[in-house]
Structure formats: C-alpha cells, structure tokens
Amino acid sequence: MKHSHRGRVRLAAAGIALTLAAGGCGTASAGTDSPATGAIALSQEIHDMLPQNVRDRGGIQLATDPSYAPMESYAADGRTIIGFDADLAAALGAVAGIRVELVAADFGSALTETAKGTYDGVLSSMTDTAEREKQADFIDYFSAGTAVVVQRGNPHGISDLKDLCGQVVAVEKSTVQADLLRRSQPGCGADPIVIKTFKTHADALLQVRTGRAVAILNDYPPAAYLANDTKTRSYYQLASTTQYEPGLVGLAVAKDNPELRDALRAALDVLIRSGRYTELLQRWGLTNGALAASSINAGS
C-alpha cells in the first residue's frame, strides 16, 4: 500500500512543479530550506527517455526514511522532507521535466515495495551492495563509510568496533551497518555484541541517547552531523574518525524499469557536469562523499 502524501512542498523550477512529499498533516509552503532550482534547465532529450507511463503521470515517487540528516530528515515543521537527497530529487526532476516525490517509507521494505510497483524507486542513503542489486538497479551518486556514534563524553570508552563486544548496540534494521555488526561477531568470541535493530534510525538513536545502548552505527555523514549540529552535539559524539567499509550510495530503481534508470542517470550526469551536484553537496557539508562520475550497480 502506498504511503499517503501527507504534506507537500511545491517548488517552481523552469516552469515545472517539483514536489517533495512530506510527513504530517496539511500543506507546507516552500521556504529557505528549498533548493534554488530555477537555474536548472529542462532537458527535452532526457524527458523523452522516460517511460511513457512516467511522462503520462508527470512524476515519480521515491521512498525514503526521513530520519537521517543531513541526507534526508524532517524540517522544523515536522512535515517537510529536507536534506541533500531531497535537494537532489528536486534537481533531477528539474532536468527531466517531471515531479519527484519523496515518500516517507519503511527502509527495510522499500526495495521490495519498489519491485512490486508501490514506488518508482528508493532515494534514502541506501548503500549499493551486490545483495541489493538482486532486487534493484542502483544509480550511484555518493560515497560513504560507516562510523560509530556514542553518547557525548563516551562513558563506555568506545573507540573501535572491537570495543562493542559484550555491549548493547542499536542499529536500523536492513542496513549495511546491521550486516557489519553481525560479521563482527566472530571477533568477540564468547562475549558477543548484543545487536538491537529498530524500524527507523530515529528509534535506534533514541536508545543511545537514553543509555539503553552504548553506540549506534551510521553512515559517516549523518554520524558527523549528529556530533556537530547544535541540536544534537550535546548528546552524541563520534567514537573515532574511522570509516568502516566505505561504499557507494545509490538511487535504486526496479530492475524491470531500465528506461527510468537511464533517464535518471542522464539527469544526474547533467547535474555533475553543470556543477549543481557540487553546489548541493556544499550546501549540506558533504563534499567528502562526492563522486567524479555516476555509475550503475558499481557497489561491492
């Protein structure tokens, strides 16, 4: 079942309404958190690459879990989805001449729902892996590794994955971080990590804040954001600056939808060549994860 579109931001871009779906109730108006997309030119060639049903609908829906700032999260109004992925979605839509909706969804089932046709794709800081490529094609647009986040002050002295042995660690389910924790278990011998998985990143994060878990594993950009943002830095810090298992992050599209995949990749290439991609990364402090070029299914 599709998630309801419980609030939307409409952005004018080259005469095209770009929609970012938001949670909560009511309709939010575009504000300072919206990207400046007016300078992005529509590419008729890329628009014509889109599947006919997408052109007929005039838009696509991409699943996201908006609890992962600065990639995707709710704005202060609790409804509008903001972040790098939200800005990227708007920019891709401007190039392709369609509406792009980010729909709040369950991260763990987003790929399955995309394969079923509930969504057109997933744009939710999802790492491109060989296992996930069995379910979807990935348009790789970013690079990040995993970091360990602990309570401010690091009361348990966590500095490495090995320090998590015998400890309760929170993590969002169906993530590469959950997989990393499970693969780390043999190194703990008779004192395994107590892995607690949660439906959303926000739920897992609460465990660390309240002391019910000693750490959470995140992609490095959201981890660094937690440690530095004024709203969260009094609660969290990085255990270290180590990034474990760096990988590519991709926009996932159903494997039976190559026309949409190729059109969105072409739009991403336009953004990279034009410099808009770099501008959006700079806006959210994410230039360390920049890619020089897009790729398809290049994850390990």
Mean pLDDT of the 157-180 span:
97
CA distance 8 to 23: 8
Banded model confidence at residue 300, pLDDT cuts 50, 70, 90: confident
Q: What is the mean pLDDT of the chain?
A: 88
Helices (H) and strands (E) in the chain, counts: 9, 15
| DSSP-derived secondary structure for 27-91 | -PPP-TTS---TTPPP-HHHHHHS-HHHHHHTEEEEEE-SEETTTEEE-TTSS-EESHHHHHHHH
CA distance 223 to 137: 26
Residue 113 has pLDDT above 90, yes or no: yes
Mean pLDDT of the 38-57 span:
93
| Helix ranges, the chain (H) | 44-49, 52-57, 84-96, 110-116, 176-184, 201-209, 220-228, 258-274, 276-283
Task: Please tell me the pTM assigned to this model.
Answer: 0.84
The SS3 assignment for 173 reads coil
Mean pLDDT of the 93-117 span:
97
pLDDT digits (tens, 9 = 90+) for 138-162: 999 999 999 999 999 999 999 999 9
Residue 116 has pLDDT above 50, yes or no: yes
Closest C-alpha to 267, from 14, 30, 80, 9: 14
Evaluate whether 59 touches 20 at the Cβ level (below 8 Å). Answer: no
Evaluate whether 276 touches 268 at the Cβ level (below 8 Å). Answer: no
Could you tell me what percent of the chain has a pLDDT over 70? 87
Radius of gyration of the chain (CA): 19
